[in-house]
Amino acid sequence: MTHHQLTDEARPLLTPVRQLTLRFSGTRRGARLARRFAVQQFTEWTGLPYDSDAARAVALVTAELASNAVRHGSLPGRDFRLTLLLLPHCFRVEVTDTRPERLPPSVTAQPADETSGRGLLLVEAYADRWGSTVRDAYTKTVWAEARLRPTGS
């Protein structure tokens, strides 16, 4: 469970087995549809059931990244992009929004009386790796990877 800030030079080579990208409206409904779509594709591509731990992790991570894109990374009238990659050893979720200047904050424990700000703690807990990338002046991508098989398998 590590967080990485990657530049284009440091970005690992990703050779996806499968890849799919869709745009969703920058609304709560768009975030909800992105989560449902990600889980559907995950189960279709991997053959793992909807109620598997891995599918739940994909649902939670996608929901948080999409929700953050809508809440913190969207400009009026702009969509966000969801990219799903099935890699040889993991499933990668990428959410690209239109606010490159708003990078995800460092993950720290929130005071018990705070009503928000815990979402990235969940991403940290459920993703094996996650981070953000800014490749141009108009967008940023926040990504998370979930292992397909438990360690040691």
- For position 27, which CATH number holds? 3.30.565.10
Look at residue 59 and tell me if it is in a domain: yes
Look at residue 89 and tell me if it is in a domain: yes
Alpha-carbon separation of residue 147 from 89, 130, 151 (angstroms): 6, 12, 8
Q: Which pLDDT score, from 0 to 100, does residue 107 have? A: 60
Alpha-carbon separation of residue 55 from 18, 100, 107 (angstroms): 17, 29, 23
**Global confidence as pTM:** 0.82
Please say whether the beta carbons of 4 and 141 come within 8 A.
Answer: no
**Residue bearing tokens 């731990």:** 53
Look at residue 152 and tell me if it is in a domain: no
Look at residue 127 and tell me if it is in a domain: yes
Q: Total structural domains in the chain?
A: 1
User: pLDDT in tens for each of the 153 residues of the chain?
Assistant: 445 554 443 345 567 799 999 999 999 999 999 999 999 999 999 999 999 999 999 999 999 999 999 988 777 778 999 999 999 989 999 999 998 888 887 665 555 555 455 788 889 999 999 999 998 999 999 999 998 865 444
Residue 42 structural domain? 2-105+118-139
Q: Which pLDDT score, from 0 to 100, does residue 143 have? A: 96
One-letter amino acid at 88 equals P
Look at residue 8 and tell me if it is in a domain: yes
Look at residue 33 and tell me if it is in a domain: yes
Look at residue 58 and tell me if it is in a domain: yes
Look at residue 24 and tell me if it is in a domain: yes
Please say whether the beta carbons of 24 and 80 come within 8 A.
Answer: yes
User: Angle at Cα 51 formed by Cα 43 and Cα 55, nearest 5°?
Assistant: 45
